[in-house]
Amino acid sequence: MNTKSFNRVGLVGRQGNPHVLDSLQRVRTLLEEIGIEYVVENDTARMLEVDNIATENRADLGRDCDLIVVVGGDGSILGVARDLAHSGVPILGVNRGGLGFLADIAPNQIERQGREVLLGQYRVEKHFLLDMIVRSNGKSGGSSPALNDIVVNAGTMSRMMDFSLFVDDEFVYEQRSDGLIIATPTGSTAYSLSAGGPIMHPGLDAIVVVPMFPHTLTSRPLVVRGDSKIRVELGNAADTPMVSADSQVDFVLKAGDHVEIEKHPHPLNLAYPIGHSFFDACRSKLDWASRLGGGP
């Protein structure tokens, strides 16, 4: 448990959602009641339409703040993680999205749980990211970090692609499928889960490799060490093969390209209220608490 309170808080909100605006206003009110200085990301400030508030570019928040509050869904936190994980500043999520594995505080708990965190009653979980770089004819063709996953895919519905998988330069297999998901423990409850991958505790130092609709009955998810270096080499591919980081940053691939993946040097520090539990979240978000037939 941490007992450090915060001096300057950055506010980031998901764009285009009226419910986010209401929660942002409540967070601002709470900060002002407690007496904590805050600064608002430029795009978020335009949503608030309030005069005389301090604003900054997102890239500067990690330098000037000691906590960043993100109001939105897990997708909003993914973007902030890619941009600011290197700063080491903890991120606190207020959930105005869907499942909310990362954005933990519910809107009706802003005043209670948010106050506890802001006054120093919180815990921090470290979530590692992946770095992805595309190599085309030996040259860099784009790169991005990812908190959830790197997905290599055919890019066209109902088309398959050929590729080879290597782990630490050791050949693993050739495969013909719709693509491959390489996910962190954080991302194991996202796209990887829907493709049949395992649920991994966020504290694990491991990476899961999940085939997407492979053209074989024996291909299964593979879990490797967190410090593994993974390489996907494209063979014959569909017309527009792609690789994406967190389904938010995309690069077009072509036959012969390599996608190289390894652990990002800086973890994301996620702040949670005291009492947060990954297994509680699984029971709630994945409906583990239900019984067949609805009986006791």
Q: Which residue has the tokens 């809107």?
A: 107
Nearest to 89 by CA among 69, 67, 111: 67
User: What would the two tokens of residue 60 be?
Assistant: 């500067």
* Alpha helices (H) along 104-258: 115-118, 191-194
CB contact at 8 A, 251 and 134? yes
**262 Cβ partners below 8 Å, 6+ apart?**
130, 131, 227, 228, 229, 230
- Beta carbons of 227 and 192 less than 8 angstroms apart: no
Around Cβ 135, how many Cβ atoms within 10 Å?
17
Buried b (16+ CB within 10 A) or exposed e, 209-227: bbbbebeeeebebbbbeee
Is there a catalytic annotation at residue 74? yes
The sign of the CA dihedral 191, 194, 200, 205 is negative
With a CB cutoff of 8 Å and minimum separation 6, the contacts of 186 are 101, 102, 127, 128, 147, 148, 202
Structure-block tokens of residue 233: 């080499």
Which helix (H) or strand (E) element contains residue 280?
helix 278-285
Q: Which of 74, 149, 246, 257 is catalytic?
A: 74
Q: 97 — phi, psi (to 5°)?
A: -120, -135
Active-site positions read 74
